[in-house]
């Protein structure tokens, strides 16, 4: 089994011992670099580049510059998606965003994690678990979402939160670690 195959199965793998993964990251980083260097007013080119970087977009989306990701092909952006400046997505596994998702500046989504055991970690091993963000979600600035997290529909995540556990639908959650603050009533589905 290749390192890439191990990573796709959520097993420990070494992303720096697989020529395919190294090449895919390099290609993606070049596209991100080109995107970030594109003039802000050149919206057509920016949209074309994002569509080259990520696996899927709908019609209406905007990702402010700068934006960085590892592979891009694991990222899906729903309709009416907006990400403010400095979005980072480490997408060794899928990162799926629903419709009407708004992300504040300096936010990060990490599918990659590393072993607690120092010997294994020092070997360069990591794992990847997918992240899913539902519909009608607002994520404040400086939020970090960790591997394997699912955020339900109609959720607000407060600025500065570190999301370490799944967040159910129809809640406001905030903090480090992120926790439910209150339920949201009378929301649209």
- Which of 4, 8, 29, 114 is catalytic? The answer is 114
Parallel, antiparallel, or unpaired: how do β-strands 108-110 and 131-133 relate?
Answer: unpaired
**8 Å CB contact between 148 and 131:** yes
Distance CA 93, CA 37 (A): 26
For this structure, is 17 an active site residue?
no
Whole-number Cα distances in Å, 152 to 53, 155, 156, 171, 186: 25, 6, 10, 9, 16
DSSP 8-state assignment for residue 15:
G
CA–CA distance, 113 with 148 (Å, rounded to integer): 10
Following CA atoms 90, 159, 78, 152 in sequence, which dihedral angle do they give, to the nearest 10 degrees? 100
DSSP bridge partners of 163: 145
Whether residue 165 contacts residue 172, with contact meaning beta carbons closer than 8 Å, is answered with no
CA 159 to chain CA mean position, Å: 16
Catalytic annotation, residues? 114
């Amino acid at each position: 089994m290749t390192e890439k195959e191990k990573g796709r199965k959520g097993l420990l793998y070494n992303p720096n011992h697989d020529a395919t993964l190294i090449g895919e990251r390099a290609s993606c980083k070049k596209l991100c670099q080109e995107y970030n260097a594109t003039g802000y007013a050149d919206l057509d080119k920016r949209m074309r580049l994002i569509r080259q970087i990520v696996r899927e977009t709908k019609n209406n989306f905007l990702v402010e510059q700068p934006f960085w990701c590892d592979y891009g092909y694991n990222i899906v952006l729903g309709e009416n998606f907006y990400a403010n400046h400095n979005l980072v997505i480490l997408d060794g596994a899928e990162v799926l965003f629903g419709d009407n998702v708004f992300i504040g500046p300096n936010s990060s989504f990490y599918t990659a994690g590393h072993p607690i055991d120092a010997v294994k970690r020092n070997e360069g091993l990591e794992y990847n678990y997918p992240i899913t963000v539902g519909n009608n979600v607002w994520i404040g600035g400086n939020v970090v979402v960790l591997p394997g997290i699912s955020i339900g529909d109609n959720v607000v995540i407060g600025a500065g939160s570190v999301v370490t556990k799944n967040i159910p639908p129809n809640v406001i959650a905030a903090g480090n670690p992120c926790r439910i603050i209150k339920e949201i009533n009378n929301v649209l589905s």
